[in-house]
């Protein structure tokens, strides 16, 4: 019975995570097409500022009279784009470096781990802020660079740890004995076999990228548009005292962020349980 | 490995990391386009004023010369000159000293909130594992991890300052001014700690020594406090320590919402002003805090767990 409940919980957490992330991805892809209003500068409608839900604006309007629901949907697109691009680039860099460090050991490993130490010796979000804030024109490109700058570290550590364990395994020794080149061993054996934990890290990574992006936009360092979730939160904070609908406006964006981060965490926990039976039911 | 050798190795590594961060930031500041003198002097500055600022910041020297100059300021403890001397604080170290107590208090208060909430929550969840209590506690802490501070902090401010008027708002001073920021910082941390406490305690409760303690007839309370908790809290100590380190480097979002001075805000402002000496000095201090706290955490871990000391 205990085992059964344990298994059930694990699957619930993973499935809930998958459904939540799935919704986010779907909304991120089709959001701008189904958005009822435009969100650009043309959406300016000062006669209808901070209104409550109505037939025209289901979730009300913002400080410029723009439609909240449309901003939410466009925000999903920008969050999806940024988090996937950053996560993929970070993973590629991290896995490549981590696998090389773990396989070649020696100087390569030493240098990489020192770089990792340096990046870890500094709080991540301040580094991101530093990079974004030094550039005069913040935009999505700068944001990607900033988030990748330290984003790869986690993946490198995971991949390196995997390779250090894998290199002692018989099938790797067999491949080397059969005369496989370093490149072949890494591509055919080490990378595929270390992907499981990397995937877990990616699920988590998407959530944290979205959180950091929102924080940067909140501090006014994001792409200078109104329709990212962080910018929405910033607007809600600025006009907090104006009316009750301002708080609703902020809640819409905040709950959206929470939804994705919660989904990412649940998915990670679920995958973790599946990949590591020792962790099951903890 | 003896404590001495361990310390020496970690301090050496830490020093390397700090120097690395400094070089990185130094290089980065000089790669990115944008003239610091334009920012500090303003558009209508005379060439003499510009030259004065340039000289004050050491920008008239070569790049390696500037780095050597910065290292000199690190050694003499001033961390460099404030140019052009705003607010009567002539050195960068002076400016950092001014804001650091605010950061320290917020970190301590936030940590207190987190620990007071997290330990009972995590313990109850572990002891009532699999029941609705556990589900509730776990769901609560998971949602708190995901709760954006950018939403939570302004809402706190609205409820307790604007609507209820119970607690002071931004920029106000007084003993209760710390309460709201501390809650905002603490709830996020609380969630992490509660999860950690729960999983660690669940694991320990399944260990042989706990079964032995129960089998020899110890009352459940003593099993829990003397055997289970003592071991279960080890990983929690690590997380507390590391999170404390990151709090000490400034909770930028919270400082921003509550308009509190602090290390994070100082760095952010300095980057915006392109005040190179302040950026470099603050980064150095933050990295040093991080490294030292990390080493202290490892030492505390060794003191709390004899098995590690022997290993």
Residue B91 three-state SS: strand
Q: Which of B234, B240, B248, B148 is nearest to B188 (CA)?
A: B148
Predicted ipTM of the assembly: 0.80
A169 close to A194: Cβ distance less than 8 angstroms: no
Whether residue B242 contacts residue B202, with contact meaning beta carbons closer than 8 Å, is answered with no
B296 Cα to chain A: minimum distance (Å): 14
SS3 for B78? coil
User: What are the phi and psi torsion angles at A228 (to 5°)?
Assistant: -95, 155
Residues 210-249 of A with CB under 8 A from B: 211, 214-215, 218-219, 230, 233-234, 236-237, 240-241, 247
Question: CB-based contacts of B8: which residues, under 8 Å, 6+ apart?
Answer: none
Could you give the CA distance from residue A57 to residue B110 in angstroms, rounded to a whole number?
39
B89-120 pLDDT, tens digit per residue, is: 678 888 888 888 889 989 999 999 999 999 99
Q: Which residues of A touch B202 (CB under 8 A)?
A: 282
- Bridge partners for A67 per DSSP: A61
pLDDT in tens, chain A (282 residues): 344 445 555 567 788 888 999 999 998 888 788 777 777 666 666 666 777 677 676 777 777 767 778 888 888 888 898 999 999 999 999 999 999 999 988 888 888 888 887 787 777 888 888 788 777 666 788 889 889 988 999 899 999 988 988 888 888 888 888 988 888 888 888 888 888 889 888 988 899 899 998 888 888 887 776 678 888 888 888 877 777 777 777 788 889 999 999 999 888 888 777 776 554 444
* Closest residue by Cα to residue A265 from B193, B139, B202, B246: B139
Residue A142, chain B, CB below 8 Å: the answer is no
Does the beta-carbon distance from B257 to A237 stay under 8 Å?
Answer: yes
Taking an 8 Å cut-off on Cβ atoms, the answer to whether A251 and B25 are in contact is: no
For A261, the closest chain B residue by CA position comes to B146
Contact B32 A219 (CB under 8 A): no
**At which residue do the structure tokens 């589900």 appear?**
B135
What span, in angstroms and rounded, lies between the C-alpha atoms of B256 and A125?
14
Chain B residue with CA closest to A237: the answer is B154
Distance (Å) from the alpha carbon of B161 to chain A's nearest alpha carbon: 11
pLDDT computed for residue B231 by the predictor: 83
Determine the distance in angstroms separating the CA of B225 from the nearest CA of chain A, rounded to an integer. 20
d(CA B135, CA B137): 6
Give the residues across from B91 on adjacent strands.
B81
Q: Six-digit token pair at A229?
A: 């979730």
Whether omega for the bond prior to residue B94 falls within 30 degrees of 0, making it cis, is no
Rg from Cα positions in chain B: 24
Phi-psi region of B41 (alpha: psi -120 to 50; beta: other; left: phi over 0): alpha
| Residue-by-residue DSSP string for chain A | -HHHHHHHHHHHHHHHHHHHHHHHHHHHHHHHHH-SS--SGGG--GGG-S----SS-TT-B-TTS-BHHHHHHHHHHHHHHHHHHHHHHHHHHHHHHHHHHHHH-HHHHHHHHHHHHHHHTS-HHHHHHHHHHHSSS--HHHHHHHHHHHHHHHHHHHHHHHHHHHTTSHHHHHHHHTT--HHHIIIIIIHHHHHHHHHHHHHHHHHHHHHHHHHHHHTT-S-S-S-SHHHHHHHHHHTTTT-HHHHHHHHHHHHHHHHHHHHHHHHHHHHHHHH-GGGTT-
Distance CA A91, CA A136 (A): 28
Picking from B213, B243, B242, the residue whose alpha carbon sits closest to that of residue B229 is B213
Spell out which residues of chain B touch residue A122, defining contact as CB-CB under 8 Å: 21, 249, 283, 286-287, 290
- The confidence score (pLDDT) of residue B109 equals 92
Distance CA A215, CA A236 (A): 14
Q: Give the DSSP letter of residue B84.
A: T
Q: Please name which of B76, B38, B75, B31 lies closest in space to residue B57, comparing C-alpha atoms.
A: B38
Instruction: Reduce the DSSP state of residue B81 to 3 states and report it.
Output: strand
Q: Do residue B154 and residue A236 have CB atoms under 8 angstroms apart?
A: yes
Phi first, then psi, for residue B85 (nearest 5°) are 55, 65
Report which of B205, B170, B142 is spatially closest to residue A20, judged by C-alpha positions. B142
CB contact under 8 A, B158 and A240: yes
Q: In the prediction, which pLDDT does A23 show?
A: 92
CB contact under 8 A, A118 and B24: yes
Distance (Å) from the C-alpha of residue A9 to the closest C-alpha of chain B? 9
Residue window 253-272, chain A: list those with CB within 8 Å of chain B.
253-254, 257-259, 261-262, 265-266
Residue B16 tokens, joined: 């390397």
pTM of the model: 0.83
The reply to whether A127 touches chain B by the CB within 8 Å rule is no
Each residue's pLDDT expressed in tens, for chain B with a length of 311 residues: 677 887 888 888 888 888 888 888 788 777 766 666 776 666 667 777 777 777 777 777 777 877 787 788 887 777 777 776 555 667 888 888 888 888 998 999 999 999 999 999 998 888 888 888 888 888 888 888 888 888 888 888 888 887 777 777 776 677 777 888 888 888 888 888 898 888 888 888 888 888 888 888 888 888 888 788 888 888 888 888 888 887 887 688 888 888 888 888 888 888 777 777 888 888 888 888 888 888 888 887 777 776 665 54
Q: Do B143 and A262 touch (CB under 8 A)?
A: yes
pLDDT of residue A90: 95
> In sequence order, which residues have a C-beta less than 8 Å from that of residue A23 and are 6 or more positions away?
A259, A263
B268/A218 CB distance under 8 A: no
- The pLDDT score that the predictor gives to residue A24 is 92
Which residues on A lie below 8 Å from B146 (Cβ)? 207, 257-259, 261-262, 265
């Amino acid at each position: 019975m205990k085992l059964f409940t344990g298994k059930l919980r694990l699957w619930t957490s993973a499935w809930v995570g998958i459904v939540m992330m799935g919704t986010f991805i779907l909304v991120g892809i089709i959001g701008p097409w189904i958005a009822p209003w435009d969100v650009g500068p043309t959406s300016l409608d000062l006669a209808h500022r901070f209104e409550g839900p109505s037939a025209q604006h289901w979730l009300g309007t913002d400080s410029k009279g723009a439609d909240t629901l449309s901003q939410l949907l466009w925000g999903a697109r920008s969050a999806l784009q940024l988090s996937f691009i950053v996560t993929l680039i970070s993973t590629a860099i991290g896995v490549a470096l981590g696998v090389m460090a773990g396989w070649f050991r020696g100087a390569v490993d030493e240098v990489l781990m020192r770089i990792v130490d340096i990046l870890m010796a500094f709080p991540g979000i301040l580094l991101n802020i530093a990079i974004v804030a030094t550039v005069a024109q913040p935009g999505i490109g700068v944001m990607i660079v900033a988030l990748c700058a330290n984003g790869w570290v986690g993946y490198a550590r995971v991949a390196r740890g995997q390779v250090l364990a894998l290199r002692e395994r018989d099938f790797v020794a067999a491949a080397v004995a059969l005369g496989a080149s370093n490149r072949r061993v890494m591509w055919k054996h080490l990378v595929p076999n270390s992907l499981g934990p990397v995937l877990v890290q990616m699920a988590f990574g998407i959530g944290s990228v979205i959180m950091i992006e929102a924080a940067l936009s909140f501090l006014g360092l994001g792409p200078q548009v109104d329709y990212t979730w962080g910018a929405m939160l910033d607007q809600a904070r600025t006009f907090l005292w104006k009316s009750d609908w301002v708080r609703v406006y902020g809640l819409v964006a905040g709950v959206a962020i929470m939804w994705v981060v919660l989904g990412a965490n649940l998915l990670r926990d679920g995958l973790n349980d599946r990949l590591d039976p020792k962790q099951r039911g903890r | 490995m003896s404590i001495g050798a361990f310390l020496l190795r970690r301090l050496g590594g830490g020093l390397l990391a700090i120097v690395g961060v400094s070089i990185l930031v130094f290089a980065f500041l000089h790669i990115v386009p944008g003239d610091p003198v334009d920012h500090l002097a303003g558009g209508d500055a005379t060439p003499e004023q510009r030259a004065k600022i340039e000289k004050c910041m050491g920008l008239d020297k070569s790049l390696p010369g500037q780095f050597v100059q910065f290292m000199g300021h690190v050694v003499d403890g001033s961390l460099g000159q404030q140019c052009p001397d705003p607010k009567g604080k002539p050195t960068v170290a002076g400016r950092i000293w001014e804001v650091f107590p605010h950061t320290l208090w917020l970190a301590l208060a936030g940590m207190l909130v987190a620990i007071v909430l997290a330990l009972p929550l995590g313990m109850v969840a572990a002891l009532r594992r699999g029941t609705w209590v556990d589900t509730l506690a776990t769901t609560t802490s998971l949602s708190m991890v995901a709760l954006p501070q950018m939403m939570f902090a302004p809402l706190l401010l609205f409820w307790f300052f604007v609507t209820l008027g119970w607690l002071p708002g931004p920029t106000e001073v007084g003993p209760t001014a710390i309460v709201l920021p501390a809650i905002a910082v603490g709830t996020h941390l609380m969630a992490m700690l509660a999860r950690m406490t729960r999983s660690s305690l669940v694991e320990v409760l399944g260990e042989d020594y706990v079964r032995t303690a129960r089998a020899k007839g110890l009352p459940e309370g003593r099993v829990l406090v003397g055997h289970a908790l003592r071991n279960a809290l080890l990983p929690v100590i690590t997380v507390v320590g590391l999170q404390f380190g990151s709090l000490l480097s400034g909770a930028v979002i919270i400082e921003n919402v509550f308009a509190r001075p602090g290390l994070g805000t100082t760095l952010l402002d300095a980057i915006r002003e392109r005040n190179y000496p302040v950026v470099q000095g603050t980064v150095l201090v933050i990295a040093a805090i991080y490294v030292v706290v990390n080493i202290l955490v490892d030492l505390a871990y060794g003191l709390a767990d004899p098995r590690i000391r022997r290993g």
